[in-house]
Chain A
Amino acid sequence: MTRVIGKRIPRIDGAVKVTGEAKYTVDIQLPGMLCAKILRSPLPHAKIIRIDTSKAEKMPGVKAVITGKDAWDVRHGFVETPRYPADQYVLANERVRYLGEEVAAVAAVDEDTALAALDAVDVTYEELPAVFDLFDAMKPDAPEVHPIEIPDIDRPYKNIGGMCANSFGDVERAFRNAYLVRKDRFESQLRTHCYLEPQATLAHYDSTGTLHVWTSSMGTFRKRMHLARTLKMPENRVHVHKSFVGGAFGGKIDLFSHEFCTSLLSIKTGRPVRFVAERDEIFSYYRHSQPMVLDLETAVDRQGRLLGQRARCYNSCGAYRGSGVVFIFLSWGFLVLPYRVPAVDYAGYAVYTNNPVRAPQRGHGAPKVRFAVESQIDMIAEELGIDPIELRLRNARRKGEVLPNGDSIRNAGLVECIEEAARVSDFQRKYSRNARGRKEKSPVKRGIGMGVSSYFTGTLIYPNSSAAVVLLNDDGSIQLLTGALDIGQGAETVLCQIVAEELGVKMQDIRVVAADTETTPVDIGSWISGLTYVTGNAVKKAAQEAKRLLLLSAAKELEVGPEDLELRDRRVYVKETDRSISFAHAITRHIRENDGDPIIGRGSFRGLKEAAIGPSLKNAKGTWSDSYAFDAQVAEVEVDTRTGKVSVVRALTSHDCGFPLNPLLVEGQIDGQVSMAAGQATTEEVLMKSGVTLNPSFLDYKVPLAADMVENGYIDIITEQYEGEGRFITKEVGEGYVSGMLAAVTNAIANAVGFRARKLPVDMAGKTDR
């Protein structure tokens, strides 16, 4: 039985957040702080002929102006490998490739002066032809965004920033023997994160030669690596401090030009420099989610069993690769994860265009791939006259199956997820009733739909691993030192629970010191869905080590063996007796007997122990993740046939996330993902024309409001089994549940009105069904 783990424990930083005490990057002010602003390219594609900063530099109040010339030719990228070397300068160098690309930065005494200085920077451009549409960019005569050749491109496409190709099984035979083949194109729009805290960075280079940085991010150690490399400084001189993070959802993981510029401006001036992005700057020029066009061909037998799939994934990654080449690799994985497919032929292309760079967003490919696959599954079910739930069950992967890349699905509750989601939502009855309702008079139609997804639990990408330290003070109080950055998901709370469980103490007995690159050990970060698994296990090992030392010391004092002892309420008890000593007593004895050594537990963890590196981005070969989470989600919608308005009324998420360490936080993750998916399915889209963003505000980019709230249900599958196996068998829970929901919504719309959406967001005015 667990005491703390698995319990609905409120987050430990709740009080500082509801009182306004929590300091986000935008809240931190230092004496003598300068204001930084960034000059952006007004053209989508141009040569920079000349930049004259002399007028700006002479302006009173302007302390520094930097351009690409000051940025020592350093490039950076989300991926930096021999196949995909870094392709972006931190400040544009000779050429700009999208409207809004950073050309110069200034630091001045106040915002007005900084803005006036931007106006005074004189840039001469020579405009070049630009290309914005994905398929236009692939044509042989398209304007060239980068002079880059990927050696194994299978056709004479242009502007290919990356390609991932993989096939297995006899695809030709699968299609030859098929009872039914469906071929459809699915398009997922350009959508964005809408983190509420703007992008912001405060940098202070002090006289010891140390750069202090506060930046709104998803992991301080990844930012430190990027900043150290681009600034050519050793990592121990780049101190990234913890600040609270006002949401990220994938949008704050890359290195951003403003982070480099703010740092370099501080190095040049010796003064603290702060940059805060305006909201319309974020909408227009920052990194949104990767858009996708997926051509999906599926062959099934008469019973609807998948025989083979051909998939072509096209991604407009923008003017630089960003995460595009990872996105097309992941998309392969999300295609083959939840269902058994004996033969697949996949190719994904990340295509350069003269648009802003794209980034991961919650799910990073999964929502878009699953939207396509799950929509098509329903279409196949309808054509074959098979119940859509039954069709999913026939194809669902089961415990012990091996993925095409060799990863074993050691435990998978997918079948249970689908069955329970259908049973609890009364799916089949509602599905038939709604279909009959289409013929009735009422203008508001109801629909129910399901989507299935799976997501990985961390993989190998820098920093790859986490370490942690548990410090016992001589009064018996405890500190956990972890590099984990809580971005709202509750990382600090969960890690604190793990220490409390191991040491038999209260949450309040532990002080969590987190995310400071100078005082805490390296951490994988709040992304790639690996934090609770990787850092959680590092913390567990650190706590166990501290416990071991504590028990050794207490055992001497109590004159029993360590195995006869147990911990509770900051005391060490001889089991089944009242004999005990306090933590303080045992710790003090340990210090005395060990040459002053206090009790320090160290732990570290790295997933994929057999693998030297992560999977290949070129051909998707190689192990990917230690475990996979699964889910089946049901959406119930109302469609007003007079206006085309779709309301997502209710959702049910049936999921296998391993053992949920804190169900309250797990539910919070599901709520957020369901809401995000409902928005992405029905209203959200960044509209662009010729590189210009047409709707750069919350008024024109509609995220769900409180009135759009979806009533949520949750079913946690096979929890007890994981508890039996060991309570820290956790899987990811922060990203995968956007994915099933998207198709659940579009399938529900099809159930309500017979309209089959092949494009997101659903536009009922553009009916294209059949």
Chain B
Amino acid sequence: MKGDKVKSSRKREAAGRLIRLIVNGEEHVVIAEDRNTLLDVLRSKLFLTGTKEGCGTGECGACTVLVDGKPVLACLMLAINASGKKITTIEGLAVDGKLSPLQQAFVEFGAVQCGFCSPGMILSATALLYENRSPTRKEIQKALEGNLCRCTGYNKIVEAIESVRRGVS
């Protein structure tokens, strides 16, 4: 169990240190223990609960965030390793209340059902479109392989991303 790993480390709480995170363009200085993951800090210290935890072991992709523009599983990255880096979470995509083209497409195409995978999925797709402005369907599917979705069968998610791809190119 994930908990087993942290059980013995309780007495080392004093090992916390100050780290500086630039999250969605805002600078935050937080105390993080060495063992805290980036996910722990985002969710429990910065209250950015849009980033989800589906497994805690790097298998489901629900915790995907962008670190310096690259998709990263926040549950596998230690917060101290994210110090000084630019982090984008799902809360940082909409500008002045206007959804990003991908967010908008996810809504319009029915790519969202329960929505628990959506933040991670949208960030993986955002990273893909940074790298590759007009990915093929296969490239889209490949880029999303680390993000599990149990509701949609991925069909409408891929369609939503394709619509933005076409919009871009």
**Whole-angstrom distance between the alpha carbons of A674 and B117 in the complex?**
18
B113 to A489, Cβ gap below 8 A?
yes
* A18-B118 in contact given A672-B151, A697-B57 (Cβ < 8 Å): yes
Given contact pairs A246-B116, A709-B155, A712-B153, A279 touches B57 in the complex (Cβ within 8 A):
yes
Instruction: From A144-152, A173-181, A662-670, give the one contacting chain B.
Output: A662-670
Distance to closest chain B CB from A662 (angstroms): 9
Verify if A139 is at the interface (C-beta below 8 Å from B): no
Q: Closest A-chain residue to B51, C-beta based?
A: A20
How far is A195 from B62 in the complex, measured between Cα atoms in Å? 12
Q: Please give me the residue from chain A that is nearest to B137 by CB atom.
A: A709
Contact with A along B1-24 (1 / 0, CB 8 A): 111101101100000000000000
Is A249's CB under 8 angstroms from B106's CB?
no
CB distance from B112 to the nearest CB of A (A): 5
Per-residue contact bits, chain A 279-315, to B (CB 8 Å; 1 contact, 0 not): 1110000000000000000000000000000000000
| Distance, CA A665 to CA B43, complexed state (A) | 31
Nearest residue (CB) in B for A17 is: B115
Which residues of chain A from 111 to 144 have any CB-CB distance to chain B below 8 Å in the complex? 111-113, 115-116, 119
Q: Which residues of B contact A247 (CB under 8 A)?
A: 113-114, 116, 150-151
Q: Is B1 a contact of A195 with CB atoms below 8 Å?
A: no
**Which residues of A585-633 are within 8 A (CB) of B?**
none
Write the B73-84 contact mask toward A (1 if CB under 8 angstroms, else 0). 000000000000
What is the bound-complex CA distance between A705 and B149, given in angstroms?
A: 8
Docked-complex contact A15 and B99, CB < 8 angstroms? yes
B141 touches A488 (CB 8 A): no
Residue among B50, B57, B91, B106 facing the most chain A CB atoms (10 A cut-off) = B50
Q: Which of A1-53 contact B (CB under 8 A)?
A: 10-11, 13-15, 17-24, 26-27, 29, 37
Does A211 touch B at the CB level, under 8 Å? no
Interchain CB contact under 8 A, A29 and B110: no
Q: Are A671 and B153 in contact (CB under 8 A)?
A: yes
> Does the CB pair B153–A710 fall under 8 Å?
yes
Bound Cα distance A247, B151 (Å) = 7
Beta-carbon contacts of A464-508 to B below 8 Å, as 1s and 0s? 000000000000000000000001111000000000000000000
Question: In the assembled complex, which residues on chain A have CB atoms less than 8 Å from the CB atom of B90?
Answer: 18-20
A185-208 contacts to B (CB < 8 Å)? 193-198
Does A245 touch B at the CB level, under 8 Å? yes
Nearest B residue to A198 via CB reads B54
Tell whether A675 is near chain B: CB-to-CB under 8 Å: yes
Which residues 233-271 of A have a CB within 8 angstroms of B? 244-249
Alpha-carbon gap, A246 to B3, bound state (A): 22
**A703 on the B face (CB < 8 A):** yes
Are B49 and A23 in touch, CB under 8 angstroms?
A: yes
Check A765 for interface membership: any CB of B closer than 8 A.
no
B132 at the interface (CB under 8 A from A): no
Q: Are B10 and A14 in contact (CB under 8 A)?
A: no
B150's partner among A13, A196, A245, A709 (CB-CB below 8 A) is: A196
Asked if A72 CB lies within 8 Å of chain B CBs, one says: no
User: A10 and B48: CB pair below 8 A?
Assistant: no
Residues of B within 8 A of A26 (CB): 49, 52-53
Is A37 within 8 A of B3, CB to CB?
A: yes
Contact B115 A22 (CB under 8 A): yes
Convert A731-748 into 0s and 1s, putting 1 for each residue whose CB lies closer than 8 angstroms to a CB of B: 000000000000000000
Name the residue on B nearest A112 (C-beta).
B10
**Closest Cβ neighbor of B106 among chain A residues:** A18
Contact A116 B7 (CB under 8 A): yes
B103 surroundings in chain A (CB, below 8 A): 15, 18-19
Q: Is the CB of A18 within 8 A of B122?
A: yes
B69 at the interface (CB under 8 A from A): no
The answer for the CA separation of A11 and B4 in the assembled complex, in Å, is 40
| Interface pair B117/A709, CB less than 8 Å apart | no
| B68 at interface, CB cutoff 8 A | no
Closest Cβ neighbor of B48 among chain A residues = A20
Interface size on B, residues (CB 8 A): 62
- Report chain B residues within 8 Å CB of A279: 54-57, 59-60
Quick one: which of B9, B108, B152 has the most chain A CB within 10 A?
B152
A20 to B88, CA, bound (A): 12
Instruction: Give complex CA distance A115, B6 in Å.
Output: 9
Give the contacting residue for A668; candidates B56, B59, B151; CB below 8 A: B151
Provide the bound-state CA to CA distance between A710 and B52, in Å: 26
Q: Given A672-B151, A707-B145, A709-B153, do A113 and B94 touch, yes or no (CB 8 Å)?
A: no
Given the known interface contacts A112-B6, A697-B59, the answer about A280 and B1 at a Cβ–Cβ threshold of 8 Å is yes
Given A667-B110, A674-B153, is A698 in contact with B49 using a C-beta cutoff of 8 Å?
no
Cβ A18 vs Cβ B99 within 8 A? yes
Shortest CB distance B95–A (Å): 11
**Among A19, A194, A487, A665: residue with most chain B CB under 10 A:** A19
| Beta-carbon contact of B59 and A664 below 8 Å | no
Residues of A with C-beta under 8 A to B9: 112
Within 8 A of B (CB), among A633-656: none
Does chain A have a CB within 8 A of B29? no
B86 located at the interface, meaning its Cβ lies under 8 Å from any Cβ of chain A in the complex: no
Is A709 a contact partner of B158 (Cβ separation < 8 A)? Answer: yes
Cα separation A664 to B107 with both chains bound (whole Å): 11
Q: Which residues of B contact A557 (CB under 8 A)?
A: none
A672 near B153 with CB under 8 A, answer yes
Is the beta-carbon distance between A698 and B145 smaller than 8 angstroms? no
Q: Is the CB of A113 within 8 A of B141?
A: no
Residue of B nearest to A193 (CB): B150
- Of A23, A116, A672, A712, which is in contact with the most chain B CB atoms at under 10 Å from its CB? A672
- Per the bound structure, the CA–CA distance linking A24 and B117 in Å amounts to 12
Answer yes or no: A426 CB below 8 A from chain B CBs.
no
B50 near A11: Cβ-Cβ < 8 Å: no
Who on chain B is nearest to A710 by CB?
A: B153
- A-chain residues with CB within 8 Å of residue B48 when the two chains form the complex: 20
* Closest residue of B by beta carbon distance from A279: B55
Among B52, B55, B141, B151, the residue within 8 A (CB) of A706 is B141
The smallest C-beta distance from B148 to any residue of chain A, in angstroms, reads 6
> Is B93 engaged at the interface, CB distance under 8 Å to the other chain?
yes
Which of A193, A248, A705 is most buried by chain B, counting CB atoms within 10 A of its CB? A705
Question: Are A668 and B152 within 8 A (Cβ)?
Answer: yes
Given A279-B54, A279-B57, A667-B156, A17-B7 contact (CB < 8 Å): no
**Cβ of A437 under 8 Å from chain B:** no
Q: Which residue of B lies closest to A12 (CB)?
A: B107
Of B49, B51, B99, B110, most A-chain CB atoms within 10 Å: B110
| B164 to A: closest C-beta gap in Å | 13
Does B142 sit within 8 A of A, measured CB to CB?
yes
CB distance from B139 to the nearest CB of A (A): 11
Nearest residue, chain A, Cβ from B158: A709
B10 (CB) vs chain A CBs: closest residue: A112
Q: Judge whether A278 is part of the interface by a CB distance below 8 angstroms.
A: yes
Q: A112-B7, A194-B150, A668-B156 are in contact. Are A709 and B59 (CB under 8 A)?
A: no
CA distance A676 to B150 in the complex (A): 7
Q: Are B151 and A197 in contact (CB under 8 A)?
A: no
Pick from A20, A489, A665: contact of B50, CB below 8 A. A20
Q: Who on chain A is nearest to B160 by CB? A: A18
Query: A residues 485-543 with Cβ under 8 Å of B?
Result: 487-490
The residue in B48, B54, B106 that gathers the most chain A C-beta atoms within 10 A of its C-beta is B54
By the criterion CB–CB under 8 Å, are B154 and A706 in contact? yes
Decide if B157 is an interface residue (CB 8 Å cutoff). Answer: yes
Residue numbers in A under 8 Å from B1 (CB-CB)? 278, 280-281
CA distance A710 to B91 in the complex (A): 31
Q: CA separation between A245 and B103, bound complex, in Å?
A: 19
Cβ–Cβ < 8 Å partners of A111 in chain B: 3, 6
- Nearest 9 pairs between A and B by C-beta? A20-B50, A488-B114, A246-B116, A675-B153, A17-B115, A14-B107, A706-B144, A20-B90, A27-B49
Given A15-B107, A18-B99, A672-B113, 9 more contacts at CB 8 Å?
A19-B50, A20-B50, A194-B148, A278-B1, A280-B2, A704-B153, A704-B154, A706-B143, A710-B155
Q: What are 11 A-B interface contacts by the 8 Å CB criterion?
A: A10-B107, A15-B99, A18-B106, A18-B112, A19-B103, A112-B9, A195-B114, A246-B115, A278-B1, A706-B141, A712-B155
